[in-house]
A and B are shown apart, each in its own frame.
Chain A
Amino acid sequence: MGKVIVVTSGKGGVGKTTSTANLGTALALLGKSVVLVDADVGLRNLDIVMGLESRVVYTSMDVIEKQCELNKALVRDRRVDGLMLLAASQKNNKDDMQPEQMKAICDKLRTTYDFTLVDSPAGIERGFRNASAGADEAIVVTTPDVSAIRDADRIIGLLQNVEIEPINLVINRFSPQLVGNGSMMDQADVLDILNIDLIGVVPEDSAVITSTNRGIPLVYEDGSPGAQAYMRIARRLTGQRIPIPDLEQKGLFSNILNWFTKKR
């Protein structure tokens, strides 16, 4: 029996879709069978971020309306074994779907695939409730700024109310330089406020933009810091115990100090 994990955040633009695409691809690269489900009905984007937009024929709404079988609606990603996408309908809106309908889809996918990652829309309304209806676990994506963290806290409360557990945190767009000079909260600050388990920190990486432009998830080219961070998170999702590296970039003085004091 596989796991259904909802990827959510509250606030928009923090990297839910990018994280879903990269974690799903990374899990498939690790040999797992994976389905990515776009739950953002009416504003779908997971297909274009994955570079699969030209191959979408059916959507989850077609499955719900019994226009096609679930298996037929899945788009196979030909670049890696065992990776599928279930697109959201672009012509419907979020109220056209019931949470129970999404849950039924997740329940079916869970029996076949190791991981079902559900990309949630921003917000705390119907779209979020649809996305989380079938989830066993959650990944909350945040960036280290006040509005994203406040919204993440709200979402965490809602997930706890429906007993989704564990809820793991991804801190995205982390800037080692800004943290180093005190202009950005570090991971300890964020964890102190949100008080859930951290599963990874993804550094700000311009390669995310170029990979999205091309529709090729970052993790296919594993040189970039962002790709490495997503690969580590994927390994942790499979149960491997990999420490979370300290990405903070300290000033010259503390670097020199570290040189003398740190056991290396």
Chain B
Amino acid sequence: MNLSIKQLFGRKPKSSNIAKQRLKLVITQDRVDVDDRFMTRLHHELAEVLAKYFEFSANSVKMNLKQEGNSYILVADFPYTKFHDMSMRR
């Protein structure tokens, strides 16, 4: 917003603003750029919890980080064959 108003008046955007915008983008990226070990651990722990509720084969699971605009989304596919009836457990 700030930038476009200034551009209307024909002024160059301040380089400090450019630095801030560029940094914000790259740091968001750095923060989600998690390593494989982290993803494997997350995968195992999620599978452990979900196994209480669903039946699924471990090799059908897919986990990915997706970028949409400026935000990042964790997408996890756990295709299940059936769910455990929790009411039976009690």
Contact = CB atoms under 8 A, between A and B. Distances in A.
Contacts of B70: none
A80 B16 CA distance: 41
Interface string A179-211: 100111110010011000000000000000000
Residue among B15, B22, B23 facing the most chain A CB atoms (10 A cut-off) = B23
Interface stretch (B25-33, B46-54, B60-68, B77-85): B25-33
A145 B14 CA distance: 14
A153 interface: yes
B1 interface: no
Interface residues of B, number: 13
A186 B19 CA distance: 11
Contacts of A146: 19, 22-23
Contacts of B30: 150, 153-154
Nearest to A179: B16
Given A145-B19, A153-B30, A182 B14 contact: yes
Interface in B7-37: 14-17, 19-20, 22-24, 26-27, 30-31
Q: Is the interface of A mostly helix, strand, loop or mixed?
A: helix
B16 to A, nearest CB: 5
A179 B15 CA distance: 10
Given A153-B30, A193-B27, A185 B22 contact: no
B31 A153 contact: yes
B19 A150 contact: no
A208 B46 CA distance: 52
28 contacts: A145-B19, A146-B23, A149-B23, A149-B27, A150-B23, A150-B26, A150-B30, A153-B27, A153-B30, A153-B31, A154-B30, A157-B31, A182-B14, A182-B15, A182-B16, A182-B17, A183-B15, A183-B16, A184-B16, A185-B20, A186-B16, A189-B16, A189-B19, A189-B20, A192-B20, A193-B20, A193-B23, A193-B27
Interface of B: 14-17, 19-20, 22-24, 26-27, 30-31
Interface of A: 145-146, 149-150, 153-154, 157, 179, 182-186, 189, 192-193
Given A150-B23, A185-B20, 12 more contacts: A146-B22, A149-B23, A150-B27, A153-B30, A157-B31, A182-B14, A182-B17, A184-B16, A189-B20, A192-B20, A193-B20, A193-B27
